[in-house]
Structures are given as C-alpha cells and as structure tokens.
Structure 1
C-alpha cells in the first residue's frame, strides 16, 4: 500500500511541474521571440516488473520559427528560421558574457551601440576603424563629412568575398568661389574659364559614377588604372601672317578656330631678340587657340616645345615633325611658342578623342595643313578596370573640383632689377605623415632680372629646404610669372616671400637723379621706403635740414605715381632753419616707368653747386603677398571628400557602433538606420549610404541544449556546444528588418494541456486516496 502512495505522489509532482510549465507558456504568450517549452515525462524504476511512478525527464524549448509582425521600427529585427542573435552584457570593468536571444526588439544605446531591451550590446561584424587610406580629401583639415559638403556625388556598396565596402563621395558648393584663370598669367597654359571649370566637374562626376558602378558590377576584376589621352598638333606658321587669317583644328569632328591676334613688334621675353609684329602676333594666336581648346569641356591645351629644356634644338627633318623619341615640354616662352606646337590633354581618364586637320588659312580659302602626332611619343587613352578605374576617375574629379594649389608672384610683386634679393619660406601638410612639414631654413633668391633664376634658386642644391621643395612643389615660369604649384591636389602649403632690405643710390646726371636699372624701385602696396636727403642751402642763404628715415618714410605705396606724390609732399612740407615754411628744391616725376628726382634751381631753389652728388632711397625689409587674383586652386575652388568604410566578415564578433561621429564618418551623429536580410546595417545620411556593421546569426548543433536564464536570454552549455557563424550569414536565417518574431506559445494548445494535466493530477490524487483507504482497512483488521 505504501508503494502505491509514493507512486501517486510522484505522479502529483510530475503533473504539477507540467502545470507550472504550461502556465509559464501562457504567461509569455505575448513575449517577443519567446519559444514555448514542453514537458517530457518518463516512468520511474521498476521492482518485480511494477513501475514506481513518473517523473519529468526534460523541459525543452521548441525552437520552431514563429510568425512575425511588422512594426515599422527600423531597429526591430526578426529571425525567419533557425538561429539566434548574440548579445553581450559588457560592464564598465571590461568583463562581459555573451548570451543568445530570438527577441529582436533592439535600439540605439546611450553609448551609440545597438542594444537589446535589457541594455545588452548586440554582437556582429563591426566596421573596421577608418584610416588615412580610407579618406581622400582635398582639404587636409577635413576628414569627416560636414554640412559644407552639401552636394552628394555618388554612393554605393561593394560586396566582395569576405568583406564589404561602401564608397561615398561629396563636394562643397563651389559656385561662389569658382573663378576663371587669370588670362595675363595662364594664357597658353591650360587656362580655364569659370563656366568651363563647372562643365568639367559635371562631366567628371558622371565619369566617377560610371566607374563606381562598374566596380560594383565586377568587384573581383583585375585592377587597371585609366590613362588620359594626350595629343600634340603642329602648325607650320607660313599662312598665319595677317588679319583674317586663322588657325583651326578638329576634335571629334567639331572645328575649333581662332583668328589672327594682331600684336605690335616688341622685345622677346628673354630680352635677346627683337620680335616683328608678325612673330608677336603668331605667339598670341597660338596661345589663343590653346585657350579656345581649353574652354571646351574635358580638355586642357598648352603651347609646347619638343626641344629639350636645356636648349638643345632639333635639326634637319626633325624640325616641325613628330618622332617617337620626342619629349614635350609645356612652355609659354616666345621662342618655344613660335614653333607652333600645341598639346591637348584629355581630362577624363580613359576617354578617347580624335584630333584631325590642324590647319592655317591666310584667308584665301586654301588652308595649309599641319600635322597630328601619330607616333609612340603621344599618350593613347586606356580604359580603367575595377578599383584602378575608380581611383583614376576619383583623382581626375578631385583635381577638377579643387585642383593643385598654386601661388603666383607676378612682376607686380617681384622687383627683378638684378639688385634686389629675396627669401622664401615654405611649409606643407604631408598626408602620409599626418603632419605639417616646416622646411626649416629659408631658400634665398639671389638678385636677378628673370624668373628662371628664381626657379633655379628654389630647385637647385641639396639643402633640406630645397629637397623638401622639390618633393612637394613644382616651380614654373608661365608668361614671365613665378608659379609655385603643389605636385598633388591634396597637398596644402604655405609660401612666404620676404624682400630683403635694399639701398638704391641715384647719382646726379645733369639736373636729375634717375632711379633706373639696378636702382629701379617697385611700388606694389607691400613694400615701404625711406628717403635720405642731405641738408641743403638755398639761394637766399637759408638752410633746410636733412631728411632722415624718421621723417622721410613712405609706407606701402600702391604704385609709382603715389610714391611720387608722397615724395613731393615730403619736399613741400619742410621748414628752414629760421622756422619759416620752405620747399625742398626737388621735384619727383615718373619718366618711362622710372622714378626721377629733378633739382630745382633759381630764386626759390638752390645753386647747382649746393646739391649732393647722389640721393639715397632705402627699401625696408618685409613680407610680400602673393598675387591674390592669379593664386588659388587650379580647379573650381571647391573641396572633394570620399570616405570608404570596410566590413571585414572574418573578424571577431564585436559590438556594433551606430553613431556616425563616433565612427569618424560625419560630424553629425545620426542617420537613417536600415538592415537587410543578411543583417547588413547601413546608415544613410543626406543621401550617402555607409556600411557600419552586420548583425551575426549564431547557430548551434543542439539548440535545445541552450539554457534559458530569463529576460529572453539563453546561455550556451556543453550540451548545446559552441556557436558557429557563417560569413555574410550564409546558410543561416534571413533577418526581417522592421519586424518582430511573435511568441511561440500557443494559447489554445496550452489551455487544452492545462485540462489534461489537471485531470492527470486529479487521477493521481485519487490513486493516493484509494491506497490510503486500503491502508486504513488493513490497520482496522489488525485491531
């Protein structure tokens, strides 16, 4: 009888546990991602072939996918098949434990990471930290997107085998800063108008988009950088000799022409030759054609020479012809331009264009044709492939938007009289080193009368300053102006020109002192002067004290006319030794572009014998600004920024950061969150899409071996085994963004089970009462 009691009690215990489990299922009928548990009963040990009751062998989760509901909340995710989200409860001490869940009601935590409702951080493949190699910026001080970068160029996501990249490129609005190149400086040297720069950018934006799209279509293709076409044409110069004659060349079948540019005879730019009017006009006409070609979208044209820059000229049949061994040098020097050669450079990498029929027409209607370089000395366009094509398109676009920095010093800033000396100081930001390089010592410029000597001073020698100059810059003589150009579009630099102090002495010649030649003075608003005038005795015997630097300073005269006026003011505002107003017996004039001071003799002046043998003007040392009009960026004056983000799907699991400012993508933290079916997370801001992470799906060999610990969390056990992750979540459950998985508890089934377990409980209770009644009867028999 006692055995029957214990058997009934085991049944009561088993059915009670079953009731507890079913009540738990009913309680969680609305719990997101909940999986119902079921009880597995087993009979207990046997004695003489009679069992001793029942027990609960296992309470196991049933991991069958449940239905989903759309929530419209971007952070919500639902697993549509087997698998689990991994979450980590990282603490401030750095310790953490990983749990697993089916509940995808996620959110952005206060630290910017993707978290579940309990504050645990969702795990996955995190975006790799952005490095300098991932950023292409024309502004060394900007490496994240800001509000200034208001124009989206292109954005795309590139999927490779084990990693994913996103490319996003933007530019600033350059409409207000875009300006045409200064004609007086850049004629014949790839000059661009404001409109043509804008059109170039538009065309190169299309080219960049195409290159990015092609890379997306074939990310595994071999990489080949595109090559821009460079063609040369040559004119004989026999017919371009008078008004109404013209030069013409065809590009892709469209004619580009300029008429004869009439110019007066003059001295050559090197001062060695007298140019006839025809020669001066031909030089202007060749430059005008190059300028006209440059106005067209996608081209820059330059006057060139195929003689070596050291002066070695071609002879015989090589003159006025193209050979395979030719090397071409851009030049605006008179003797080079007169050769009649023009180089046409394509700005769009990989784009081929056809140059035909360069001709000159005297107006007779019978043109004389020149030649187009068809030898291997030209550069043939080569189409880019894959990443190489994208890099080529990007660099060409960045150059058009911003362009290489150019600092220009014209003759209005330089006093090349063969006497004045200068010093240059430079610094440049090196992107690879991530810092500004100060060149240290100055580069001294010796007195000269031409720009080429300055270039030689800047580029010749082995001093650290010169070596750094040659590393970062190119010095050019363009139409007699000194142009210092950065070698790359992403080099930011500072140049400072300092004029050394100088003394100009003009000896008396007849009745005047002529400050010309090496004593010529330049007035450009940047340099100040002092004049020294000795004491002088007038015809009436009175004396006027000497003028010294303290009273004879002329501050930054804008031009020689102002300089002259200031001098005459000084002369007029003197007093004699007796205190009466007087006037220095001198008069300043500008004659043939030079300052001339004339002696005034007679009643109000001074006897000729009283005048000094010479007059002295001192230049005060100081800085000289570059030419503001001609200096600036070679491109449209805007800024370009491309940022690449990378997701390495072979990296270790980590928390997923969502804030764009923390990720060093943008100075604005938030964007539009989205997740695709593979768990790939993108954040979109102002149209640009950034890959910032991928939620991983954990798989287990025995998912029923996971241990439920509450809060919708599960722990791995030795029975469940270690989780496995597939690259790109391949062959795992799809993830439905904006959805949540419903509870797996079936209310109808659970209510039925409650009645079944209740009946079983009552039946087991009845077996106990029956056994108890039998036991009572036996006890009464004994009595």
Structure 2
C-alpha cells in the first residue's frame, strides 16, 4: 500500500519539475536567442518478485517477470536548439545566427570563453564589441590597416581567420591611409566612321623648323606654345567632319602662277605641227585664200584643244603668247606649258623641252618614306614642306632655296589651316603670286573632291608680296577626350586627361596631361606635364590590336612618392572589353582608377560572413574584424550560466571554432536578432498536460490513504 502512495508522490514531484520547466519557457518567450527546455520523465526501479523464465524443452512454457514499479522521476531537462525566427532591427551591430553555432564571448578579455546565441552587440567606450551583459565578443581583427594601400580590392573584404581569437576592438577614430593610383582602366569607343562629330584642329606647323614625322617627340613653337606634329593627311577630316580618306596617289595640283610662253610664229602655208602637253596640234593655212594670218591660225588651232591641254593662245604684239591658268582638274596633260614635240612650219621656234612649270602635283602615299622629288606626301609636314619649296622656287627661281630665309612661308596655323604668306624679301621688286588649287585625276586615280575643296580656299588672284596671307578651310582630326582624378601617396587628387586623336585608318594616338607642376616622365622639356606619342592600333573588326606605352610614370612634385607608376588598362589584344574603334560615336563607357584618399571611419555593419565592415569617408569599405562561431558535438550538453550565456561542459565536447558558413557552422545576418524558439501554443498545451498529470498523481495518493485507513479500521 505504501508503494502506491510513494509512486503518486514521485509523480507529483516530477510534474512539479515539468511545470517549472514550462513556466520558465513561457517566461522567456521574448528573450533573444533563448532555447526552450523540456523535462525528460523516466520510470524508477521496479521491485522484482519473480524473474522471467524461458520455455522448457519438455514441459512448461516461458513465464514473464513479476515486478512492481516504484514511481517516476526526471533524469534531465533538455534544451531544444531549434532555429528561432529572425527579426529585423535598426541596429547595425545586431547579428543573428541562421543555422548551428554560437558566438564566442569572454567576461575577462579572452581568458575564459563562453558562448551565446544572443547577437545583441554594442560598442563600449573603448571600442570593444560587447554583449548587453558586458562580455567581449571574440573573433579575428585586421591589424594591417596601415598596409591597406597595398591590398587588392578583393582583400578589402577578407580578414585572416586562421590566427588565434582576439577581443574585437575597433578604434572609433580609425583613419584609412591614402592609396596612390597604380592603374587606370578605360572602356570607350573611338569613332572609325567616315563622318565624325567630335573633332579638333590639326597640329600647328611653322615654316622654319621641320617637325619629326613619327609624332613621338613633338616640337613646341616658342611663341605660341602650340604642339607641332606631323599627321597622316589620309586620316584627316574637312571642317564638316567628313573624312578625306585619301587613297594611294590621290591629291591636288597647286598653281603658284599662271604659266606663260611667248614665241614668234614663222609665216608658212604648209602643214604646221607642235606637241603641247602631250597633245599633237596641226593646221594648214593659206592666208591669201583664207584671209587669216598664220599667227591667228596658230592661235585658233591651239585654242581648239584647250580642254585637252589647258593652254590658251592669244596674239600679243605680233607674237604668239601661250597661257595656262592651271584651273582644270586632271593629270599633267592639262597643267603648265610643256613643248612635248618640237614645232614644224609656223611653230618651228618651239623646241621640245621648252616649258614653263608653275603648277605642281602633290600625291598622297601611304609609304612612311615618301619621295619628295615626285611630289609625294604622307604627312601634313611633307605637304607643307613641298608647297613652301615650290612656292619659293617660283617666286625667286634664281635663288638657292633655304628654309630659314624663305620669303614665301607655308604654315599650319593654330586653327588647323594651311596658310601661305608672301613675305616682303626686301628688294624693290614686287613679286606677287596667284594661287589656284585643282584636283588630280588620271585613268587609275579618282579625284578626291573633299580634299580638293578644302585646299581650294587657298585660291587667290593675287597673293601680294607683303600683303595678307591666304589659307585653306579648317582641317581637323577625330578626337575623343576623357579624364579622371588620380591619387598620389599623400592622398592628393590630380586630374589626368587623356586626349585621343586619329592618325591613320585603324590607328590613333593619345596624349596624357596632368596639371602643373606635375610632370610625366618622357614628356617634352618645354611641356613636362604633357606626354605625347601614345599609340593605339585596332583590328579590322574594331577590337584593340595593341597599345604603347602600357604605363605612365608621374612625378606629382608635392613631396609624394615619385615616380608614381600608373598602368594603363585599355583592354586586352583582340577583345572588346576596353578600347574599341567601330563606326559609332566616340564615347567613354567607363573609366576607373584604383586609388583613393585618406578617410575617417564613419559607420560599421556586418556582412553575411560575420565580417564587421567599416565605411570610411573616402567612400571605401574595409573588413575590420570577423566574429567567430563555435559549434559542439553535443549542443544540449552546454551548461546554462544565465544571461543568455552558456559554458562548455564535460558532455558538450570541446568548442570547434571557425568562421560563419564553414564546417557545421551556420551563416549570420546583420541588423537582425534571433528570437526565442518558444512556441506558446505548445507550451500552454503542455501546461494543461502537466496539470492533469499532477492531479492524477494526487488522486493516487488520496486513494492510497483511504485504503490505508480501511486497514487500520480492521482492528475495530
């Protein structure tokens, strides 16, 4: 009878403990990171009267044991580490674990380690990242911020988590040092079309100092400080932005004076012949019959083929004058006056080889070494020098030509115009010129009208010695400009400007300009802040074929590290990821550099790896630290210390520490907290079950008491 009573008492005691556990669960329904517990009921040892027996081979079968239970007990209260819901917060230092793991915290700056799921972290006065209970959060701290200028961009968000754990402490006055620019990357297109809208005047050229044709070492005019550089004429554009696109041998004629020749005509009634500019001319005239003098007949015969020779004849004082104004487009057959076959009869005074050459043919060639003796040119300097030489020889044929003493100067002015000036040579004779530009064409070469029309602006009936100069229309080259601020080692900004200009069919040059007093190594001594001679080549599909130079060396001249090497990342050969040149407007898609100024720490936040990112005033973010996570072989073996804190026990196993998202450790989310995993509906239901269990056990006690009372009454 006493066994049943004590069984009821043990049941009441066990359910009382279960009630305590569920009440604690309900009390912590809003505790951050709380994990609910459950009471584990077990039966007590039974009082065994008879043991179980096995069946006999011959006879009785097997029998079960005869035992009486002695009640119930609680052998453990087990925590259930299921995931709690996460809740967004407005606190950037809040952190929630999603999955397994515990934050590592310490009450004594790392000597002792405890663990928690509560990620409600704040910074204390010394910059320590602590829990609300003052425990310092453990993890890995970046200690190389002074070397951040040497890191790659990907290293900015990595913290070395292979070392020992440290207290996470962040200096609120932290400063990120400046990083000098080491790389400028550019994505842009340079217009390869026959028409461009972005254009600048071609480089100026003077008439006394020849400029190099390679464009690497430009000459600067001492008076105007303008760059003088020879340019490929075939890559240039007229003032409307239309490309000359000169083909081999296309070009112009420039006449500096009207060609003249005066000769006597011998009276003759026979057949009279002469070859002028390759055209055979003949006539027969009997003046007694025709009434036309031999002089007039010769004039008429020559004028009849003017469209073939360009030569016009007229009678002047009893002499026959020939004149060619050199105004017809074509080849040498319509230019100048050349006796190509000696005259007979009336023309007997004209001897083969007689000529008056005042018009000169200038033919474009793609050769890098044009033959000036035949009037070939490739660059603006080639053409300028040819024109100046010929103009001076026409004006003063008896003088030996010297560029330094030339009285006719041909220049390219600052507006991109070829300009011809007939300067006074100091004698008493006025030697005027008259200019006329016409197109060159032949059976194999077409007339380039765009180039001819541009140069025709030189035309003037009288280029007076000592008078006003005459010039062509504006000539330009296709350009594109872009700029970016680069940073030196002191954090000072310097704007670097890139100017691209077309120099050939698939070739562009570029210059780099930095503000004075900065200098670029390899630039001209007269303009040390301007680097000329950068070259780009493109493939037939518009992809980049190659570039030079790949790096610039800059001296900021302000006490910062020098030379500062800046790699130019304009794209890989054969790709479209950098510079391209297709028939499309020139434009910059993206230009970037990897330098930055010094910055103050402005804000912090956590990322999904548990890294504490610092946002600096220079716009950069840097991982300053990373929180550590621990997991255990048996989470339920952890000892609860109160205050949302656990400690390892003999049954939890050693802490396995690592970063979030590694091993069995879960991920983390910033600006979130993990809420309690208590399910109120379950807990309240469990309360009812526990209550009913308690009531039932109390009934067993009262029933046992009544039976005991009956036994006592048997004596009566």
Q: Same fold (TM over 0.5)?
A: no
The structure that has the greater radius of gyration is: 2
Q: TM-score, normalised by structure 1?
A: 0.39
Q: Greater helix share, 1 or 2?
A: 1
Q: TM-score, normalised by structure 2?
A: 0.42
